[in-house]
Amino acid sequence: YVQHGVLPVNLSIHINYKNTKPYTAPEELYQTARSMGMNKTENEGYNLTWMLPVDSGFQYMARLHFCEFQPEIKKTADRLFWVFITNQTAEDVDIIFLSGGPGIPIFRDYLVKVEREGGQDRRNISIALHPKARTSTQYSDAILNGIELFKLSNPDNNLAGPNPTPLAVAPPSQPPTTSLKNPKSKTIISVIVSGGVMGVLVVLCLGFYIAFRRRRGRLDSDKGKSTRTNASSLPEELCRHFSIPEIRTATNNFDEKNVIGVGGFGKVFKGCIDDGDTKVAIKRLSRGSKQGAHEFMTEIEMLSQLRHVHLVSLIGYCNDQHEMILVYNYMDNGTLRDHLYGTDNDPLTWKQRLQICIGSAKGLHYLHTGAKHTIIHRDVKSTNILLDEKWVAKVADFGLSKMGSTSIPNAAVSTAVKGTLGYLDPEYLRRLQLTEKSDVYSFGVVLLEVLCARKVVDHTAGQDRVNLAHWVKSCIRKRTLDQIIDPFLMGKIAPECLRTFVDIAQRCLLEHGIQRPSMSDVVGSLEFALKLQETAEAAKPDIGDVDGFEDVDNIYPEVALGLDITTNAPSCSSFFCTMTFGNSETLTTNLNQF
C-alpha cells in the first residue's frame, strides 16, 4: 500500500470537513499524502523533510494539512510524530487525537521569521517530521498531506523581495601553452588532433539534432499549446511561452477593435487567455518599430524576475514566426495620462493623484534600492504608469532599462541617450551618464503633469509655455502658480499640501543629479503631502468649495524664492529644502537641442 513514502490516492474515503471549511483545501489533497512508511527500525534514524526557498527579511506562515486515511490508523496514538520548523521543535502531532477520527482533515499554522544573515537574499525554511519512539506509538511513522506557505507583508505593507543580482560573466580563459621539449610531445599532439576531429564531429551531430528539434518545436508551437521555456537566453521557469495560435485566439486575430494603446513599439491589444478566465494586455512589436530584439529581451529578463505591488506583472511572451509579443496583466483603468488630459474620462481627485504618485514612486524606489545594484528605468512618464481596477499604480515598460553598478551607489552608466522628449534629464543629455537620479528628474516632470494636467511638451502653446517644467518654474518665480494648476483642482488642494508637493517636484528637477532627492525622499514627501491634505479636509470639510487658495503667499516653497544655495548638495530642514534650480538658460539650451 505504501511505496517509496508516497501514499496513493484513496478515493474510497469520505472527507468529513468537521473541523474546517470545505474551501480550506480540496478533497483530493486529503486523499493522498507523503509518509515515511511502516519500517520502524529505519524510520527512527531519518526525517521526512522539505526545504522551501524564500526571501529573507520577512515573516512566513507555514500551514501543514493532515488527514488520516490509511486503514491501519484507527485510534489515538497509532501514529505520533514531531514537527520541526527550521530545526526548532514546533509540537508533537497525533492526527486522530486532534481531528477526532479518520477522514477528518485539520491544519496547523506555524509562524516563521526568516532573518537576513550575511547578506543572503534567499534562505530556506526547513519543515521536518520525525516519528516518535516505538515505545510511545503503534506505528513509528510520520505523514503530511499538504503544505501552504504564506508570505506576510512588512510593517510598510511591502511583500517585495530584493532585485535579482546580475549574472556574473566569467572572464575568458587563457589558452594553454604547449612545449615541444618533451620527447612525448608528438604523441600528445596527435592525440589532441584526433580528439579535436572527434569533437568537431560530435558538435556537427549535435547541431543537426538541435536544428531538427527546433524545427519540430516550431511545428508543435502551431498546435496552440503554451509552454515554459528552457532556452538559455530567457529566464527559466519564470515566464510563460505563448504560441502564435494562442495569441491570435486571445486577440481575435489581432482585431483592431481590441486595440487599447499605440506607441513607438507598436500596438497593445486587450485579450483573454485560459479559456477567457484571464484578461491580459498584449503588446505586439511592429516591424517598423525603433525598438528591437534587445529591448524585447531586456523587458522579459527584467520583469520576469521582479515582483512588487507597484510594478506591472509580465505573464509571458511569444517569439514565434518572427513575432515579438509580450503578455501582461490587464490594467482596467489604463495609463495615468488617460485620466489627466486629452480624454473624456472623469478627472482624478487630488487625493487619487497623490496616491497614484506615491505608488509609482514606491515602484521606482524598489528598482533603485531592491538589491546591491540599481535598475534605472530610463523612460519614466505618465503613459508608463498604469492603473489597475482599484487605481493602484504600476510602473511599466522596461525595454530601455539599464542595470546600474553592483558596488558603487549612485554610479553613472555610460550610454547613448534614450527616453522621451520632455522627460529627459538635462544632465544625462549633456554627459551621457545615466544614474538613478535621471529617473528622479523624469518623475519630477510627471508630478508637474499630475498637478497641471497638460502635455509636458506642447508646441501649440506660446513660446514660454512649450516646455512644462520651464513654464512651472517661471510661474512659481512670478507667484502665478494658480495659472497652471488644473482648473478642476482649484480650491481643492490644501495650501500646505500644495507647498510640499511643489517643493518635492522642483527638487526632483534640479540641474545637477547630486542635488536631487532619492526616490525614498520623494515617497516620504508625497506621503507627508497626503497627510497634510487629509488633515486639512478633516478640519475643514468644505475645502473643496473654496474658490482658489486662501493663503497664496504661503503655498510657494522656498526653493522658488531666489534663495541661492551654492554647496554641492542641498541643506534640508524638516521636509523642506532651500535651493534654486541653477542655471535655467543652460537647461533650456540643452533641451532645445532635441
95 vs 35: CA distance, rounded Å? 13
Contacts 24+ apart (CB under 8 A), 233-240: 233/297, 234/297, 234/300, 234/301, 234/304, 234/317, 235/300, 235/301, 235/304, 235/305, 238/304, 238/305, 239/300, 239/304, 239/314, 239/316, 239/317, 240/315, 240/316, 240/317, 240/327
Nearest one of 491, 465, 473, 487 to 548, comparing CA atoms: 491
Residues 6 or more apart whose Cβ sits within 8 Å of residue 44: 131, 133, 134, 140
323 vs 317: CA distance, rounded Å? 10
**Residue 494 and residue 481 in contact, taking contact as beta carbons nearer than 8 Å:** no
Q: What are φ and ψ of residue 360, in 5° steps?
A: -70, -35
Residues 6 or more apart whose Cβ sits within 8 Å of residue 492: 349, 350, 543, 544
How far is residue 421 CA from its own chain's centroid?
A: 26
DSSP state of 457: B
**Residue 443 and residue 508 in contact, taking contact as beta carbons nearer than 8 Å:** yes
**Residue 297 and residue 233 in contact, taking contact as beta carbons nearer than 8 Å:** yes
Grid cell for residue 2: 505504501
Q: Is residue 379 annotated as part of the catalytic site, yes or no?
A: yes
Flag whether 418 is marked binding: no
Which residue among 379, 397, 425, 503 is the active-site one?
A: 379
543 vs 311: CA distance, rounded Å? 34
DSSP state of 382: G
CA-based radius of gyration for the chain: 31
Nearest one of 271, 276, 398, 385 to 334, comparing CA atoms: 385
How far is residue 130 CA from its own chain's centroid?
A: 38
Q: Where are the alpha helices (DSSP H) in 54-140?
A: 95-99
CA angle 397, 400, 406 (to 5 degrees): 110
The amino acid occupying position 428 is Y
Q: CA neighbours within 13 Å on the CB side: how many for 371?
A: 23
**Residue 159 and residue 151 in contact, taking contact as beta carbons nearer than 8 Å:** yes
**Residue 501 and residue 446 in contact, taking contact as beta carbons nearer than 8 Å:** no
Q: Where are the alpha helices (DSSP H) in 412-494?
A: 426-431, 436-452, 468-478
507 vs 502: CA distance, rounded Å? 9
Q: Give the residue numbers of the binding site for ATP.
A: 283
Catalytically active residues, by annotation: 379
Q: Give the residue numbers of the binding site.
A: 283
